[in-house]
Homo-oligomer: A and B are copies of this chain.
Amino acid sequence: MSKLYTDLGKLIAHLDIPNGSRISFHHHLRNGDYVLNAVMAELAKQGKRDLTINASAFFDCHEPLIELIEKGVVSGLECNYMSAKLGAAIGLGILEKPVIFRTHGGRPKAILDAVTPIDFAFIAAPTADYQGNLSGKYGPSACGSLGYAFPDARAAKTVIALSDNLIDEALADYSIPGCEVDYVVSLEQIGNPQGIVSGTTQVTRDPIGLLMAQLAVKTIQASGLLKDGFSFQTGAGGASLASAKYLHELMLEQGIKGSFGLGGITSYLVKMLEDGCFETLYDVQCFDLAAVESIRNNPQHREVSAMHYAAPSKQGALVDHLDLVILGATEIDRNFNVNVHTNSQGQIMGGSGGHSDTAAGAKLAMIIAPLIRARMPLILPEIQCVSTPGESIDCVVTQYGIAVNPARSELKARLEDAGLPLKSISELEQIATKISGRPQIQKASGRVIAEILYRDGSRLSEIRQKA
C-alpha cells in the first residue's frame, strides 16, 4: 500500500477528476506558492473544465488563473482573500459567477457543514512522511502552521498532499495525520522561500503610523483590558505592528502577564511570548521566519486549526476569548461598517480573512487606519461593500482622533476619563472631507461580481462591477 506518487501528471490522470469538480487550496505559502499553479496547469493540460476553486486566499502569484478562467478551465472561485491582480481581472468581468468570499472562520464551518463541499483538496506540505503525515514546520519550504488546511484535510473527499520534502522517517510532530491524506506527490519545489514568509516584518517608520500606534496603546490602557490574562491579536500592517511594539514595552514595564497571542504570528508576538508577556501563542499562520522558527522549537507556540481559531460555534473558538484585536480598514461608513475587500475605487484587493471573526469575538475590536490615504478619506457616507458589520467594531483610531461606537458607552466614558482625543465618526468624516474634498466616486452598480458571506454563512454584502 503506497500513496506516494513522483509525477503530478500521472497522479492527476489517476484521480480522474470530473469536469465541474470542487477543488481546494490553502495559502500558507502566500505569494511564494507554486502548488496552485502547478496543479491547475496540469488540470488544464488534461482538458478539465468548469472547476470551482475554493482557496483560503489567492495571491498575486496566482495570476495564471486569469487565463484559466478565460479558457473555461475554472468557472468558480471561493476564498477569504484575493489580492489585486486577480481582483482587477474579476473587476473586468472575466468570471461569470460571483466570487464567493467567506471569512477564516466561516470557511471551515462551510466546508465541514458541507455547505461548500470539497471534492479534491490539494495541500502544500513542506514536509510529508512516507505515511502521509504532514507538517509545515520543516523542510526547505517551511511555512510553520498549516492551520487553514485542517478543514480541507478533514472533510474533502480526496486529499492530495504535494511536498518537496518527502521523508522516510515516522514524523512525530505532524500537523495533519496521514489517515486524512489519500495521496502524496513529490514536487521539486512547492514554493519560493522569498515569497513564503518575509525575512522580517517591519514596524512602520511613518510618523503618522507611530502617532496612531501611540493613540491605540493609550486606548488599550484606558479600556481596562490590559491586565494579567490579557489576550491579543493584531495584523501584520505597519501601524498594527507598531502598536504591538508599544504594547510589548508597556506590558514589560507594568509586569503584565498576558494569556495568549492569536492569529497570524509575527516576530513581534514571538518576542512577547519569549519575554513572558503571553503564556501561549495560538498560530493559524506564520508571517515571518522568526514565527516559523518559534513554532518549530517553542512548545508554548502552538499551531491551531482554522476551526479552533475562528469558526462560529456554540462551543466557541479562540477569537471568542480575545480581549483585543487591532484591525485595519480601507473604508468605514458612519455606522462603523468596514470594507477591507476593495480599494476606494471598488476594485477587489483583499478580503475578510479573520477581520470579522476577530471583531465579533474580541471584547475590544479596534480599527487603526489613517484618516486620509492616497487622498481618499477613510470615512465615507457610503462604502463599496461591507466586510465587517459596524456592530462588531468598538472604536476607530486615526491620527486625528478616536471615534467610539455609540453603542459602547462604557468604553467611551473610560477613554474620556483618560483624556483621549475623542471624536464622533461624523466629526472624523468632516475632518477628512475638509482635507481631501468629497471624493467623486460612485458605488459600483454593474452586475454582482462577488458575494461577501458573513462568518455564519449569511449574505452580508456584495461587490458590483464598475458600470
Binding site for B on A (CB under 8 A): 1, 3, 130-132, 159, 168-174, 177-182, 229, 231, 259-260, 278-282, 299-302, 304-305, 307-308, 311, 313-318, 320-321
Contacts and interface: CB of A to CB of B under 8 A. Distances in A.
Contacts of A321: 130-131, 170
B317 A172 contact: no
Given A169-B259, A280-B171, A177 B304 contact: yes
A315 B179 contact: yes
B280 A315 contact: no
B315 A132 contact: yes
Nearest to A312: B179
Contacts of A1: 316, 320
A173 B179 CA distance: 22
B315 A172 contact: no
Contacts of A171: 280
A282 B317 CA distance: 28
Q: Which of A299, A305, A311, A321 has the most CB of B within 10 A?
A: A321
Contacts of A301: 172
Given A177-B305, A179-B307, A311-B179, A259 B170 contact: yes
Contacts of A168: 229
Contacts of A278: 170
Nearest to A278: B170
Given A168-B229, A172-B280, A173-B299, A179 B316 contact: yes
A302 B172 contact: yes
Q: Which of A177, A182, A231, A304 has the most CB of B within 10 A?
A: A177
A314 B182 contact: yes
Q: Which of A172, A300, A305, A314 has the most CB of B within 10 A?
A: A172
A365 to B, nearest CB: 16
Contacts of A260: 170
Nearest to A180: B315
Nearest to A310: B179
Contacts of A308: 177-179
A178 B305 CA distance: 11
A179 B299 contact: no
Given A177-B305, A178-B316, A308-B177, A280 B3 contact: no
29 contacts: A1-B316, A1-B320, A3-B315, A130-B321, A131-B321, A132-B315, A132-B316, A159-B315, A169-B279, A169-B280, A170-B259, A170-B260, A170-B279, A170-B280, A170-B321, A171-B280, A172-B299, A173-B299, A174-B302, A177-B308, A178-B315, A178-B316, A178-B318, A179-B308, A179-B313, A179-B318, A182-B314, A182-B315, A299-B299
A354 to B, nearest CB: 14
A130 B178 CA distance: 31
A283 to B, nearest CB: 10
Contacts of A299: 172-173, 299
A181 B315 contact: yes
